[in-house]
Amino acid sequence: MAGWWAGAFVRAGSVEQVAAEVVPDGDSLALVLSFPDRPLVPPARLPLRTDGAGRFRFGTPYGAARVALDSAVQELVGVVGPDSAGVRVHLRRMLPPATHEVVREAVRVASGRVTLPGTLFRPVGVRRPAVAILVQGRGCGPITGFEAQGEMLARHGVAALAYDKRGVDSTRRCDTATIADLAEDVVTIARFLARRGDVDPARIGTVSRSAGGWVSALASSRAPIAFLAMLVGPSTSVARQQLGSMEVVAHRLRLAPNDSVDAVRYVEVSVGPSDRARRYAELTRLLAAGRRAGWAQEFLEPDDVANGEAAADSLWARRNAYDPASDLRRFRGPILAIYGGADEVVPAEENVALLRRLAADAGNSRVRTLVVPEAGHGLDQPEAMRTIDLDTGAPLTYWKARRTPPIVHETLLDFLREAGMMGDGR
């Protein structure tokens, strides 16, 4: 419960914004309540009473509030006054306030025959900060989606470098790059950062998304990487990730037994040893069956499909036959792995269990995992109508918007703090 919350009081379709910080108060909790629309009114520190079952009471200018915590999505919802027809209150968990202004710098890093354009985000007031290299997942996206994350990290005291994947700004095709190619780019960027005088060369790590977790693990075997933070990054091999994901999709689609066999067989043929002509013929047959059954449209990306016999040798999973096990066992730094509880691409249960086994084998006790309830591969929880119990005899229904819950980035910031990545370096 302790932390920052924001939301509104709602009555007859009108809202009043409210911000709150839950703080320890001896053996209990207190709520520091403030109103952004009333800047001259000082914050009020109020007792926060609980019944121990996820329900809380606190005072407000409109009367006593009764709220319940929807723990899966970290939202507090309830009523003010004696009945639900009056004032409603809705608070959502938020990140703590930012502590730094941010300076952006455009950079270009030469990596072999390609140039990687990017943006370095630096926190003002930190002389030599730690820096996170933001590593993208599968696909050919520019840095646009990673700039907000870089800004967030810098505002909380950690520099970040977001960069375009190789080929995005040139005539070279980024969709032919392998995990090994992309890992070499991370190594090159780490060396580029280490040569600068304005970041700490001993505290350069990675924050990766999805397949970027494989890239980061491989890069850690080639260069000094201080930490690995993997957001939905697999600890399984590429082949096992593809099989595990296909199994989950087949279960959700409730495929007939023969269709499930075909779906799994498609992955096995894609990554397994065989004569190319025979492989292409079997993949073509299975693809036609998969389109009829629906699993091909649900699971396959364009580079999972061979458009000719020669392409059967260059399918994505075949080009990227990588298993991170040995590199994760070798890594001695802190590791954070965050998974979505409803992720079909990187199923949480299998990946958490494997990562913990690998860490135990290596004697690495600095491994932290988080499974976000109901979150998919993007780590966002879907829009939904939800109900909470205020112990009034009738459940209260509320609308939850689609969003990435702040526990994702709150956990990331806590991990970086505990790993010694906040503040000035040497």
Convert the pLDDT of each residue in 243-281 to its tens digit: 999 999 999 999 999 999 999 999 999 999 889 999 999
Mean pLDDT of 211-234: 97
Looking at 63-209, list the stretches that DSSP marks H as alpha helix, in order from N- to C-terminal side: 144-155, 179-195
The CATH classification number of 3-94+381-402 equals 2.40.128
For tokens 């820096």, the residue is 131
pLDDT tens track for 351-410? 999 999 999 999 999 999 999 999 999 999 999 999 999 888 788 999 999 999 999 999
Alpha-carbon distance 150 to 240, whole Å?
Answer: 31
In the predicted model, is pLDDT for residue 155 greater than 50?
Answer: yes
Q: What is the dihedral of CA 62, 68, 69, 70, to 10 degrees?
A: -120
pLDDT band at 85 (very low <50, low <70, confident <90, very high): low
* Token representation of residue 270: 């894609």
Q: What is the mean pLDDT of the chain?
A: 93
pLDDT tens track for 111-130? 988 899 999 999 999 999 99
Mean pLDDT of 154-160: 97
**Of 265, 131, 138, 144, the residue nearest 196 (C-alpha):** 131
Backbone phi, psi, residue 375, to 5°: -90, 140
pLDDT for residue 173: 61
DSSP helix, strand, coil percent of the chain (3-state; round to 5)? 35, 30, 40
Residue spans of the domains in the chain: they are 3-94+381-402, 238-319
- Which stretch of DSSP H or E encloses residue 118? strand 114-123
Mean pLDDT of 188-204: 96
pLDDT for residue 166: 85
For tokens 């792995």, the residue is 337
> Computed over its alpha carbons, how large is the radius of gyration of the chain?
24
Backbone phi, psi, residue 198, to 5°: -110, 10
Alpha-carbon distance 407 to 140, whole Å?
Answer: 28
